[in-house]
Amino acid sequence: MNIVICLVIIAITGFLLMKRYQPQPILIGLGILMMFIAYEASWIDAILVGDQSTGVLIFDAMDIVRITTSNNIVNLGLMIMTCAGYAKYMEHIGAGTRLAHTFIRPLYRLNRPYIVLALMFLLNMGLSICVPNPLSLALLMMVTMYPVLLRLGVSPVGAAAVIATGHLMDVGPGAVSTLLIAKTLNMPVPNYFVGYQLRLYFLVAIVTAIAHFFWQKYRDRVEEPKVIDACESIPEAPIGPKPYMIFPLLPLCFILGFSQYGFPGVKMNVTLAMMLAFGIALLAELIRHRNLRTVLKSTTIFFEGMGNQFSYAVTLIIGGQIFAQGLVSLGIIESLLGALQTLSLNSIGLTSVLGGGMLGLSMVTGSNVAPLFTLVPLVPNIVAHLGLDPITTMLGMQNGASLGLFLSPISPVMVGVAGVAHIKSVDLLKRTAVPVLVALLTSCVGICLLY
């Protein structure tokens, strides 16, 4: 009976998310509803136990939101917020645009459209480590990379496909899903990034670049050429001075430099790395503008970026954890364990099942964050009982959720790029589907071979 209730609530959740309802109140509300059902059915003795309980059932249910928020905002939430604030500030001072322009200029001289297209995809993938938000990176590349590809003779939809998929895998010390999984595994972020993500990331990037080369060239040849307007409708982004190109790379240098891969004697964390880089960027802005009032006022951009990420990613973490707690209270872990033990899945089998589930949820909801934050908290208990490796399982889930964004015509990055390029997101999907499926296959094979 409890599994039937779980499946009904999961189906309702998926339907509401697919209809683009705000995910946070849905996850929190339905998570609390499941706890009430579990309590009334005597599957759990209390919603909050011991000193945590307020003494009133409904108050306990509401207090879960406070407890979950306070547990997350101090560590993971603050890391995510500072990453977002720093990325927003880099956009404001033109550091990201300067970095992109610096690397794109030599490629433009090659004058070989589809070789440039493949190389620009690799460049885009490299920049995704420094720009953790897929839509922000895509819009930056639409300003810098898109006009170059059009002038070389690539079709608008082909150029848009390469740009949209630049954030193909959500990797890097500043990526939200990376921070979540590293925290869940109780593993330092550099260890997860360098030890597990990086090798697979390079493999997938190279294979997908080759897939883009052949697929976009083939589709541009067989489809009727469309009239291309000169890129007048694309807004220009601010371009900072040449030295500013180092600023997007600074947090990565701090995180990896002061770790086992550099100078292990100094303790460094993601939040501190972002704050140090932000301080250096502020000092550079003061030297550049020589106006203390202007520079201090610009710090509001950083804090606005932090606030925006709190209203989205951090609240999604809270909602996802409450929803997961509701599922646990209904006994879904025990039921899943029984089913998985019956199937006798090994680590590869479990990774394939959960990674495929993440891919499907990401495609349906248009988000890689919501499904991950809902299901990742359940994984340690599942793999521990099965005696399997949690790291490769979560890596497969993360990659599945990331790739699903580019197979979804409703994901923000696909809608945003299609809107700027004046094409339909469904047409863009036709151009991203084959390279993304190649990336998915490469990712699965890579996990099997490398780990």
pLDDT tens, residue by residue, 292-310:
999 999 999 999 989 888 8
| Average confidence (pLDDT) over 18-45 | 86
- pTM for the whole structure: 0.81
Q: How far is CA 280 from CA 12, 86, 405, in A?
A: 48, 11, 34
Q: Which of 195, 194, 181, 145 is nearest to 165 (CA)?
A: 145
Distance (Å, whole) CA 4 – CA 413: 35
Contact in structure between 260 and 115 (CB atoms under 8 Å): no
Provide the pLDDT for residue 287.
94
Q: Which of 70, 262, 278, 243 is nearest to 270 (CA)?
A: 278
Provide the pLDDT for residue 226.
54
Lowest-pLDDT range of 7-16, 27-36, 154-163, 212-221: 7-16
152-167 tens-digit pLDDT: 888 999 999 999 999 9
- Is the pLDDT at 230 greater than 50? The verdict is no
Provide the pLDDT for residue 233.
56
Give residue 354's pLDDT band: very low, low, confident or very high (50, 70, 90): confident
- Sign of the four-CA dihedral 362, 366, 368, 370: negative
Distance (Å, whole) CA 307 – CA 322: 21
Q: Which tokens hold the place of 120?
A: 């620009």
Task: Name the amino acid, one letter, at 378.
Answer: L
Provide the pLDDT for residue 386.
75
Distance (Å, whole) CA 397 – CA 362: 11
Distance (Å, whole) CA 370 – CA 398: 12
Distance (Å, whole) CA 29 – CA 33: 6
Percent of the residues in the chain that have a pLDDT greater than 90, as a whole number: 29
Q: Which of 240, 236, 245 is nearest to 147 (CA)?
A: 236
| Average confidence (pLDDT) over 425-448 | 92
Lowest-pLDDT range of 124-138, 223-237, 245-259, 308-322: 223-237
Distance (Å, whole) CA 293 – CA 325: 47
CB atoms within 10 A of CB 430: 15
Give residue 433's pLDDT band: very low, low, confident or very high (50, 70, 90): very high
Distance (Å, whole) CA 265 – CA 270: 16
